[in-house]
Structure 1
Amino acid sequence: MATAISNKNRNRGPGKFGGKRGENNRIYANPLPLLFPDPPSRVASVVGLLGLSLAPIENPHCTGVFDDATRSVWICNSHDSTILWRRGMFGKGDLSRSEPSWLARQTNLRNLQGTKLTSEEVTARRRAERKQFKMDRAKAIANAFAEAEAAFEQGVVIKPTLSGPNIPSAATWRPSPSTPQSEAVNEVPLEDRHESDEEDLPPLEDIEHLQLTLQEAFFLLWNLDCLTVLDPTTDRAMTLKEIWTTFQLSHLPREIPSQDLPIQPDNPFLVNYVVYHHYRSLGWVVKGGIKFCVDYLLYKKGPVFNHAELAVVVIPVYEDEEDEQNSVFSEQRNKAKPFSWTWLNTINRVNSQTLILTYVTIPSHKRVAELGDSPCVFKEYSVREVTIRRFIPARMRD
């Protein structure tokens, strides 16, 4: 029986999405920008006995520019953007949903072929088809009621049927040949195109850049040493000390002077980076979760493969209550202090994923001052997690 089943599965083929999944596994095979090529087998076998490795490290050394207005680092080189996205899915395109695909969308629009649609184009087509399905179904239901009204006027009482071949359903409905106006522009017959029209068009220029959050940028430059951040005014490479200070100052309220201000342990950059580093070190792909009213979304392999598995809300907890009262961020935290049962149920309802409340213990000013103003203060932070699962009766009957 097991042999018959295995033969049946072997002859089934890759499936509907098998080819695309295999291509994604090949493109996004590396979880980090750093590559570790395998050394020659004979050398590896001899050196491996000593517990050593001769595998060289390939470091891409990407370059970005700090932008204070958006609190992010811009990767304007398309080659560097491709590396950072395909090796760990860092950042997002400023003109795209996630992967920088603006140039591909414009190329598809110019070629009028659409052989390989981007994620944005697939979503737009799916929404247009869903809209057309709702319109067709509403029209069919209205016709059924009109027939019932006409029969009633003739003295015959019938009950309008809201199902059957005349009423389309989501399982059997197919798009009609007449496409919506939003897609009709992209489906010009190839025989009606003229080469002169294409020659008159200017060449496409990629104006999109990859936008890294400050947490992603600091993780790449501090842990992996594969990112160089340039100063936007002088266009020179910033040192680690300058980056460490600049990223913290960008989160300070504008009315507070930053001259000679000591390190603030509850700085949002530090608190959020502790959480980002924690989950990245566990192998998760960490992305922003503002769309679902949370701080982070955790993916097993990335948004290209599947939806987020977990949603994370960062909750700071002060070790010293006096630090919380004297904090320069107290006004911001009081405005955004939503941790009530109403808020919790709302967040849990919005997210179909498992919700994780991540409590970050902020060390006291005294302990941080003893360590100095450097990234070594991260060892004083601690992370605790509380998992909340949404109760769904249809899935949790057992």
Structure 2
Amino acid sequence: MDTKPLPVHLASPRSWISRLLFHPTRSPCWSGTLIEFGSCVWLRHSSCDIDPFESGLFGKGSLSRAKPTWKSRTIDKGDKNTVFLEHITTERRKLKRSQENPPSSSSSPSVSTTNDDVWSVEEIKDITDSQDYEQVFLDFFEAFFLIYALDSLIIYDPLDKPLSIDTCWTIFSNQTPSFATRYAVYHYYRSLGWSPKQGTKFGVDFVLYRPGRKHHHGDFAVVIVTDHDNENRNMDWKDLHRLNRVCTQVKKTLVLCYVIKPSSQPVDRPQCLESYKVREVIFKRWSPERNREK
């Protein structure tokens, strides 16, 4: 697989003939284990030297905020000038706590604190034998994109049996509400070079990140709107303004992504994606002060 595989456009269903003609020597780079109760796929440690996170922001470290950096932060203790995302978050939280709870000059007895529950780097090395115990997991949208669009992942069930694309589609659809619609949006933005991540924290469906930035910021927040009532949120103008205010506070632009699909078409196979159409509208609050003609 190319280290920069995007953009990738939705193609027609691939038969064994097309695979033979266009991908004669290609083999999946990664393998993972399906974890149904966690709605994710755990990537297995392999000899593949291609980092899925560096190749397109695929996956998340189980002991990190995003990129798996636990070993570099705790055991290797690499270049002291290296700043990790976790360090920035820790310092920001310390500053916030100090502002919310300033030191009190009262005579009340202070509570003594100890660091008995904090391990040193040497203790961590002894316990872990300097091995990297951090796991990388993919959500269902990332996993299906890698197995369906890029053919760079093999997914196994807990009994170590490989799963086909159709089987993965069925399992993911049963575990995730409106999986077909949400994956169509995920695939659409992936094909444009974005990296969609779950946007539950901000009350949206996806947050779009641009691969390649060291300390990247999500520029857009995506809300999916369909022409089917059973998949739609019951949103009115007040709800949209609430979402827009949240997105504005975190410096993101709200995008309404409309998915148009045939109402009579079954969604039990990934081939249904061919008939989906995606349209997007940027939602912003109009301010007369900012838009007044000068």
TM-score tier by shorter-chain length is: 0.7 to 0.9
How far apart are the structure 1 equivalents of 2:256 and 2:87?
35
Task: Give the match for residue 350 of structure 1.
Answer: 246
Q: Which has the higher contact order (CA 8 A, sep 6+)?
A: 2
Change in 2 beyond 3 A, CA 1:59/1:312: same
Q: 1:384 aligns with which of 276, 279, 292?
A: 279
Task: Give the match for residue 4 of structure 2.
Answer: 31
How far apart are the structure 2 equivalents of 1:199 and 1:75?
23
1:281-318 C-alpha deviation (Å, 9 max, x unpaired): 11112112111111111123356343112110011213
Q: Which shifted more, 268-277 or 234-243?
A: 234-243
1:189-221 C-alpha deviation (Å, 9 max, x unpaired): xxxx9x9x7986552443322121111111111
Task: Give the match for residue 61 of structure 1.
Answer: 29
SS in 1 for 2:65: coil
How far apart are the structure 1 equivalents of 2:189 and 2:28?
23
The question of 1:96 aligning with 2:64 is answered: yes
Aligned residues between the structures: 266
Higher helix share: 1
1:135 is displaced (CA, Å) by 6.6
How far apart are the structure 2 equivalents of 1:340 and 1:222?
36
How far apart are the structure 2 equivalents of 1:279 and 1:342?
27
Task: Give the match for residue 238 of structure 1.
Answer: 163
How far apart are the structure 2 equivalents of 1:199 and 1:340?
55
Q: 1:128 aligns with which of 94, 102, 106?
A: 94
Task: Give the match for residue 222 of structure 1.
Answer: 148
Give yes or no for contact 1:292–1:351 (8 Å, CA) kept in 2: yes
Change in 2 beyond 3 A, CA 1:392/1:95: farther
SS in 2 for 1:86: coil
Give yes or no for contact 2:28–2:154 (8 Å, CA) kept in 1: no
Task: Give the match for residue 341 of structure 1.
Answer: 237
Task: Give the match for residue 15 of structure 2.
Answer: none
Change in 2 beyond 3 A, CA 1:30/1:373: same
Task: Give the match for residue 162 of structure 1.
Answer: none
SS in 1 for 2:53: helix
How far apart are the structure 2 equivalents of 1:339 and 1:395?
27
Q: 1:213 aligns with which of 127, 136, 139?
A: 139
Structure number with larger C-alpha Rg: 1
How far apart are the structure 1 equivalents of 2:66 and 2:161?
28
Q: Which shifted more, 72-81 or 237-246?
A: 72-81
How far apart are the structure 2 equivalents of 1:391 and 1:275?
27
1:105-137 C-alpha deviation (Å, 9 max, x unpaired): 3226xx69955342112221233245446777x
TM-score, structure 2 length as denominator? 0.74
1:240 is displaced (CA, Å) by 1.9
Change in 2 beyond 3 A, CA 1:182/1:89: farther
Give yes or no for contact 2:30–2:44 (8 Å, CA) kept in 1: no
Give yes or no for contact 1:96–1:120 (8 Å, CA) kept in 2: yes
1:280-299 matches, cutoff 5 A = 280-299=190-209
Runs (5+) with no aligned partner, structure 2 = 8-23, 106-112
Task: Give the match for residue 74 of structure 2.
Answer: 106
The question of 1:313 aligning with 2:223 is answered: yes
For 2:137, the aligned partner's letter is: Q
Give yes or no for contact 2:6–2:191 (8 Å, CA) kept in 1: no
Change in 2 beyond 3 A, CA 1:105/1:245: same
1:60 is displaced (CA, Å) by 5.6
Q: Which shifted more, 281-290 or 73-82?
A: 73-82
Percent of aligned pairs with the same amino acid: 33
How far apart are the structure 2 equivalents of 1:382 and 1:61?
31
Give yes or no for contact 1:312–1:358 (8 Å, CA) kept in 2: yes
| Alignment RMSD (CA, Å) | 3.9
Task: Give the match for residue 172 of structure 2.
Answer: 247
How far apart are the structure 2 equivalents of 1:112 and 1:85?
19
SS in 1 for 2:189: helix
Change in 2 beyond 3 A, CA 1:386/1:202: closer
How far apart are the structure 2 equivalents of 1:394 and 1:120?
39
TM-score, structure 1 length as denominator? 0.57
Q: Which shifted more, 348-357 or 127-136?
A: 127-136
1:66 is displaced (CA, Å) by 1.0
